């Protein structure tokens, strides 16, 4: 994998403040000590017959909008946000040509008109799975399948996976839900023939070294 595409995150603190480690980048090959937090996506491109054409695991980038949400949830700021509208439960694909950086927004990463089809290029999770055997330090969304010709038009380029909230638990986009992105995962430039599938699993881990 291109090291430039690996955008891990780490930090050191105590208790819930370990989540704030997401705002830092982990250089390739770096081994951190103490509390750790990171998110990543496994993406598998399969053809219509189910044969694997490509697979990759890419660390996410928690963007500025997501960092603001973390601060507002963990600390009693002037804009504390704890209501359900800000809880993360949707994965969306996009064909946005905007490079994934920490300054991207829901609006800048919105897919082009005609990218998504009636079934939507988003997957909403009514309840996000957590790992109750590991002190509930792991959240998993997926695996979920997006199919060309059903969820999005074939022969379109998928560039990124977006992680955001959807307060109504219905299909939509990050822009038209709570209008913010928590994290973005660059996927390169993937082009899909009709009935090709992209299977995605997003994992967010806030466990410490000793968990």
- pLDDT tens digit string along 68-109? 877 777 676 776 656 666 678 889 999 999 999 989 888 889
Among 42, 31, 24, 69, residue whose Cα is nearest residue 185 = 42
Helices and strands in the chain: count of H runs, count of E runs: 1, 10
Look at residues 159, 168, 160, 164 and name the one whose alpha carbon lies nearest to residue 179.
Answer: 164
Name the percent of the chain lying above pLDDT 90. Answer: 27
Measured CA distances, 43 to 9, 146, 165 (Å):
19, 11, 20
Lowest mean pLDDT among 32-36, 37-41, 83-87, 134-138: 32-36
In the predicted model, is pLDDT for residue 22 greater than 60?
Answer: no
Task: State residue 31's pLDDT score.
Answer: 46
Kindly list the domain boundaries of the chain, sorted by start residue.
Answer: 41-121+144-202
Residue 192: cis peptide before it, omega within 30 degrees of 0: no
Give the angle 62-128-195 at the CA atoms, nearest 5°.
85
Interval 144-171 mean pLDDT: 84
What pLDDT is attached to residue 192? Answer: 93
Query: What is the per-residue pLDDT for 99?
Result: 92
Q: What is the DSSP letter of 195?
A: T
User: What gap in Å lies between CA 1 and CA 57, rounded to an integer?
Assistant: 8
């Amino acid at each position: 994998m291109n090291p430039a595409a690996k955008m891990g995150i780490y930090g050191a603190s105590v208790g819930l403040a370990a989540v704030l480690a997401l705002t830092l980048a982990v250089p390739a090959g770096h081994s951190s000590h103490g509390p750790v937090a990171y998110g990543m996506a496994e993406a598998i491109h399969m053809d219509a017959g189910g044969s694997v054409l490509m697979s990759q695991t890419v660390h996410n980038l928690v963007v500025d909008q997501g960092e603001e949400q973390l601060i507002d949830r963990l600390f009693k700021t002037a804009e504390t946000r704890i209501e359900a509208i800000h809880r993360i439960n949707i994965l969306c694909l996009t064909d946005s040509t905007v490079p994934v950086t920490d300054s991207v927004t829901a609006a800048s990463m919105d897919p082009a008109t005609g990218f998504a089809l009636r079934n939507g290029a988003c997957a909403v999770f009514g309840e996000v799975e957590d790992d109750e055997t590991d002190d509930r330090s792991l959240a998993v969304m997926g695996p979920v399948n997006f199919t060309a010709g059903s969820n999005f038009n074939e022969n379109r380029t998928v560039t990124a996976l977006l992680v955001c909230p959807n307060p109504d638990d219905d299909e939509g986009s990050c822009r038209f839900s709570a209008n913010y992105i928590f994290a973005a995962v660059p996927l390169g430039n993937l082009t899909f023939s009709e009935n090709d599938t992209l299977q995605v699993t997003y994992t967010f881990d806030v466990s410490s070294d000793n968990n």
